[in-house]
A and B are shown apart, each in its own frame.
Chain A
């Protein structure tokens, strides 16, 4: 699924990072606990989270993720937007809650990373 489709499915507002919109991703991860993301994520290029601080961007950067979706209409700070822009990470914000956002993406075909 392309990042652009993720934005459409979640009716999300693009905050920064048009450059990745046509990149293809095969899986995502939903978590507010960055330690868990660092422990268990492998090859998930998209992070859905309700957590808003600079370490969300750094965690995504460490994990080579290319897109962060903030759920429940959360908005990143200017510092975070700057960090993301430097790192080439797309940020978007959706009104959906975490459970619904993950479910919508899963239903739309963004599964566990198994390429059919």
Chain B
């Protein structure tokens, strides 16, 4: 990160599935104003949106920080949810612990984390049962 890093902070409300995605919409607008290319904006906003949905489904909400500098966009998602017992298993496409009602809303197919990895250049997950989850995703510019 260079000295000129722009930082944006968002609180993700865990009580309302309807509002999930608001932070991603904001980030999309901000990046557009900053003149970031449409392809990069799309990758960042999809990855962050999936992360937001995950925080609402599994963790009762959380926080999202987005750092932008000349070389990269970094998204850091932090929650105090139940944590992920087996990260390798959670990364498999199709593996899901989401409740059935989430599936009826169009999510919970075990695509969230794989999508986040697919659309970003680097992704790190720190998580343990009872200790919440922190996910750091980087998209190079």
Contacts and interface: CB of A to CB of B under 8 A. Distances in A.
Nearest to B22: A58
B106 A33 contact: yes
Contact of B49 (A53, A54, A58): A58
Interface stretch (B13-21, B58-66, B126-134): B13-21
Given A61-B25, A62-B28, A55 B46 contact: no
Interface in B18-69: 18-21, 24-25, 28, 38, 42, 45-46, 49-50, 53
Given A55-B20, A58-B24, A39 B114 contact: yes
A64 interface: yes
B107 interface: yes
Given A55-B21, A63-B42, A39 B111 contact: yes
B106 A35 contact: yes
Interface of A is mostly: helix
Interface residues of B, number: 26
Interface residues of A, number: 20
A73 interface: no
A73 to B, nearest CB: 19
A41 to B, nearest CB: 10
Contact of A39 (B105, B106, B118): B118
Which 9 residue pairs across A and B have the least CB separation, nearest first? A34-B106, A35-B111, A58-B21, A35-B109, A54-B18, A51-B106, A62-B45, A62-B49, A62-B46
17 contacts: A34-B107, A35-B110, A35-B115, A38-B46, A54-B17, A54-B18, A54-B21, A55-B17, A55-B21, A58-B20, A58-B49, A61-B28, A62-B21, A62-B24, A63-B46, A64-B42, A87-B25
